[in-house]
Amino acid sequence: MKRVLIIEDDSFLQSLEVNKLKKEGYDVLTASTGKEGLQKINEPGIDIILLDLVLPNFDGFEILEKIRATEALKKTPVIVFSNLSEEKDIKRSEELGATDFMVKSNFTLDELVEHLNKILGL
Amino acid sequence: MEEEIKKLKEECEKLKQTNEVKSDLISISAHQLRTSLSALKWILKMFLDEDLGKLTSEQNSFIRKAYNSNERMNALVNDLLTLSHAEDTSMSYKFEKIDLLYLIEQTVFDFSGETNKKNIELMFLKPDSPILPINCDKEMIIVVIQNLIENAIKYSNEGGKVFISLKQEENNLIVSVRDTGIGIKEEDKENIFKKFYRAPNAIEKEIIGSGLGLFATKNIVERHKGKIWFDSTEGKGATFFVSLPIN
């Protein structure tokens, strides 16, 4: 079973994501703030991270920076899953080592799962 | 004289600040709108997939309409963002030498998921001879190519074909995107690049769009001192051409 960490502050969107990923057989960890996200990335066995950008306390960019500076997470795929889409946000995510950038409103949850499965080779 | 220059500089600074406020406002509004649009999209899709229980055909039809309506709003937000970026004359484009052939190849590759959904054959007919690099804003030219391919797929019927070509004609590179879709009626041709215009045959078929895509595309092409035009016969498809100067 693959373990996904979802860092998302909108509780409704988070609940829909959790529901879908659990149904698809994922072991799901969640964080609702930047601070919580920074703690949860230290949990063992994380296979992939779904990361929102606009978060309370610390934003997604700061978390991404921390993820890539953590030896155990250097190669863990991180999908930035945000409703921001400006070039500067996409570029910054790439520079900080994001695996991919997806705009939430442009994807269904089925497409999101398809994408995660593909990255994990499932 | 010095006084006038000082005044002009102050005015210029004020305009810049106003523009930054406008850009931030658009970006924040779009972000907030998209949060609600995502929630609606995901929930309505769950209903449509009958994850929440079986639907009657009437329920299915209403929810499908609600889903499509939400998708139209989403397309509108996406196009408004592109347009705000394209129309912002205070924002200078980042011109650099790029290989258009490589850019088209990459963009075509990104569409493989879209074409599979409608069983559409998407082909890039590469030029026989090498193509010179052109000076353009890479991100904005990607938007142009994406918009044209997206339209070609959107207005194609199931199993249709989309051909993209690139060639050099004197001092210009010409990109064409041809589809075998619904085409454009004679009386709609003069309006196709107008802001918010949607052709009645597209609305009838409930094809989602905002009427801003081609307007924004034309805007970007013209800021590159290029041209955009099309040929079309109703029911037989359309070919859109973009010409970009090499120098």
DSSP letters, A51-70, are E-SS-SSS-HHHHHHHHHHS
Chain A residues with beta carbon closer than 8 angstroms to that of B88:
none
B27:A86 CB<8 A: yes
For residue B36, what is the nearest residue in chain A, using CA coordinates? A105
- Per-residue confidence (pLDDT) for residue A11, from 0 to 100: 94
List the single range of A51-55, A97-101, B156-160 with lowest mean pLDDT: B156-160
Specify the amino acid at residue B23: S
**Stretch A89-107: mean pLDDT:** 95
- Per-residue confidence (pLDDT) for residue B114, from 0 to 100: 78
Chain A residues with beta carbon closer than 8 angstroms to that of B37:
105
User: In chain B, which residues have pLDDT < 50?
Assistant: none
CATH architecture of the domain with residue range B97-245: 2-Layer Sandwich (3.30)
Measured at the alpha carbon of residue B182, what is the angle toward residues B180 and B188, in degrees to the nearest 5?
A: 125
Distance between the two ends of chain A, CA-based, in angstroms?
11
A109:B78 CB<8 A: no
- Per-residue confidence (pLDDT) for residue B89, from 0 to 100: 63
What does DSSP say about strands B134-137 and B172-179: parallel, antiparallel, or unpaired? unpaired
Chain A residues with beta carbon closer than 8 angstroms to that of B74:
105-106
Q: Which of A105, A106, A110, A117 to mutate to test the interface with B (most CBs of B within 10 A)?
A: A105
B39:A108 CB<8 A: no
- Per-residue confidence (pLDDT) for residue B200, from 0 to 100: 87
Using CA atoms, how far apart are residues B41 and B185, in angstroms rounded to an integer? Answer: 32
Chain A residues with beta carbon closer than 8 angstroms to that of B81:
85-86
Percent of chain A with pLDDT strictly greater than 90: 95
Pick the CATH number of A3-113 from 3.40.50.300, 3.40.190.10, 3.40.50.2300, 3.40.50.720: 3.40.50.2300
Domain ranges of chain B: 2-87, 97-245
For residue B79, what is the nearest residue in chain A, using CA coordinates? A85
Whether A83 has its CB under 8 Å from any CB of chain B: the answer is yes
Mean pLDDT of chain A: 95
